Amino acid sequence: MKKVRNKPLPFEFPGGNWYDKEEQQAALKVIKNKSPFRYYGPKCTFEVEKFEKEFAKFIGTKYALGVNSGTQALAVAMAALGIGPGAEVIIPGYMWIAIPASILRLGAIPVLAEIDDTFTLDPEDIEKRITKRTKLIVVVHMSGAPADMKRILKISKKYDIPVLEDCSQAIGGEIDGKKLGSFGTIGTYSFQLNKILGTGEGGMVVTNSLHFFRRADAIHDLGYPRVNGRLITKNTPYALWGFGGRMNEITGAIGRVQLKKVPKIIKAMKKAKDTIKKGIADIPEIKFRRIVDEKGDTGAFLILILPDAKIARRFAEEMNKENLYAGLSKIMRVCEFGMHIYYNIHSLVEKHSNSPDGFPWTLEANKESIYSYHKGTLPRSDELMEKSIMIPVPSVMTEKDIEDVIKGIHIIAKRLF
Ligand SMILES: Cc1ncc(COP(=O)(O)O)c(C=O)c1O
């Protein structure tokens, strides 16, 4: 039987797909200047510093700090907020392994909360998870679209608990024209290749608090502040412990070029996603993920909610058979999306430790924080993720690619419904 397409859709590397001479020249300049270190060098042009300033302006926060990955950004941000043993951190069940990894690395305990049909933290469930040990709420703007920040911030205020926004999958996303990452106490980003701004490796921490910025700045480096690139080794409140997470100048230079392209990339993804949504809106069995602010969606992913888990599994299989997937990313149900799902993370479910003493699960300070991470812990999220499928929306889709997706989904719907 003839397939809808004879080859898959383009790869889904939003930022990476837009590399051209500009990124090449930016990287080459740093190499020609023999100055890949951000604080000094024979002819340092301070690309990371410029990137930080431009990124802070783009997001609308006072401060931004470049780091070497999104994982590092999370750990640095949490450490800057003082997260450690005895602290509980509320996280959604749909996230990425780097989030519990960062919490546990600092000696604190992750506490799972349900997601709702936005596929991000369910504000109603957060309140049920708060204890006297809760020290942070981590909001993850998953799969390109925003969480309901207004409602989440109300809870944060009511209980006086800070909010960390992980915007790794929604760089440039907004609510009411305000950029994600600027709502909470602190925001983090990843610039890994699958992200909207891609430098291969890299990340950013943003905040409006000078105090948290100064702590993050010291912690991401050697544990001490710097002035004009030189360490201040005096005994001050910012003499801490470092993570060795600095961003290098090549990353900074590429990041600056990519940042300028973010609006174009988002525009392309949104256009493709909107066209597909409109094109399949006539199929009553298909429901869409709820988007808190359609205008602020980055368009990176389309999530379809199907009548049940069995149909969702078959729908994904049919889409793959018809080559309606991007690059190597086969269409799957959300629940199959690897270590984005709490119960797929064995080290979390089984409470593994990197050290023989079971740190931090076994710490005296954490003795009251005993929680489950097995499948079934979040029944509403489990059900939703089992009956939904993820469709990546590459930013370089042609009109023909978009037409194929619409046509293919209609053909599959006819087969299954
Ligand atoms: C939501 C989220 N947070 C954090 C990260 C970690 O970023 P990195 O791979 O740059 O460490 C990623 C992506 O990989 C992510 O998707």
Q: How far is the CA of 95 from the centre of ligand 1 (A)?
A: 9
The Å distance, Cα 32 to ligand 1 centre, comes to 31
**pLDDT given for residue 258 in this prediction:** 98
CATH number, domain 16-258: 3.40.640.10
Virtual CA dihedral for 392, 398, 404, 406, nearest 10 degrees? 60
Alpha carbon of 285 to ligand 1 centroid (Å):
33
Residue 12's pLDDT is what?
A: 87
Q: Best of 102, 103, 169, 205 to mutate for ligand 1, by most ligand atoms within 8 A of CB?
A: 169
DSSP codes of every residue in 59-111: HT-SEEEEES-HHHHHHHHHHHTT--TT-EEEEESBS-THHHHHHHHTT-EEE
Please tell me the pTM assigned to this model.
0.98
Pocket perturbation via mutation, ligand 1, pick of 71, 164, 334 by most ligand atoms within 8 A of CB: 71
Q: Which atom of ligand 1 lies closest to the CA of 202?
A: 10
Give domain limits for the chain: 16-258
Instruction: pLDDT tens for the chain, 417 residues: list them.
Output: 789 999 999 998 999 999 999 999 999 999 999 999 999 999 999 999 999 999 999 999 999 999 999 999 999 999 999 999 999 999 999 999 999 999 999 999 999 999 999 999 999 999 999 999 999 999 999 999 999 999 999 999 999 999 999 999 999 999 999 999 999 999 999 999 999 999 999 999 999 999 999 999 999 999 999 999 999 999 999 999 999 999 999 999 999 999 999 999 999 999 999 999 999 999 999 999 999 999 999 999 999 999 999 999 999 999 999 999 999 889 999 999 999 999 999 999 999 999 999 999 999 999 999 999 999 999 999 999 999 999 999 999 999 999 999 999 999 999 999
Q: Which residues line ligand 1 (CB under 6 A)?
A: 69-71, 96, 98, 140, 166, 168-169, 190, 192, 203
Please answer whether residues 205 and 177 qualify as being in contact, where contact means their C-beta atoms are separated by less than 8 angstroms. Answer: no
Ligand 1 atom nearest residue 191's Cα: 10
Which ligand 1 atom sits closest to the C-alpha of 95?
1
Contacts (Cβ under 8 Å, ≥6 apart) of 267: none
Are residues 162 and 156 in contact, defined by beta-carbon separation less than 8 angstroms?
yes
Q: Looking at residue 281, what is its pLDDT? A: 98
Please report the pLDDT score of residue 124 as a whole number: 96
At 96, list the tokens. 């990425």
Q: Which pLDDT belongs to residue 49?
A: 98
Question: What separation in Å is there between the alpha carbon of 70 and the centre of ligand 1?
Answer: 5
Give the pLDDT score at 295: 97
Q: What does the pLDDT read at residue 146? A: 98
Q: Give distance in angstroms: CA of 11 to centre of ligand 1.
A: 18
Helix (H, G, I), strand (E, B) or coil at 45: coil
Q: Strands, DSSP E only, in 252-300?
A: 287-288
Q: Which atom of ligand 1 is nearest to the CA of 141?
A: 1
What's the 364 CA to ligand 1 centre distance in angstroms? 30
Query: Which of 95, 168, 193, 243 gets mutated to test ligand 1 (max ligand atoms within 8 A of its CB)?
Result: 168
CA–centroid distance, 412 to ligand 1, in Å, is 33
* 14 CA to centre of ligand 1 in angstroms: 14
Return the pLDDT at 2. Answer: 87
Q: How many Å lie between the centroid of ligand 1 and the Cα of residue 262?
A: 18
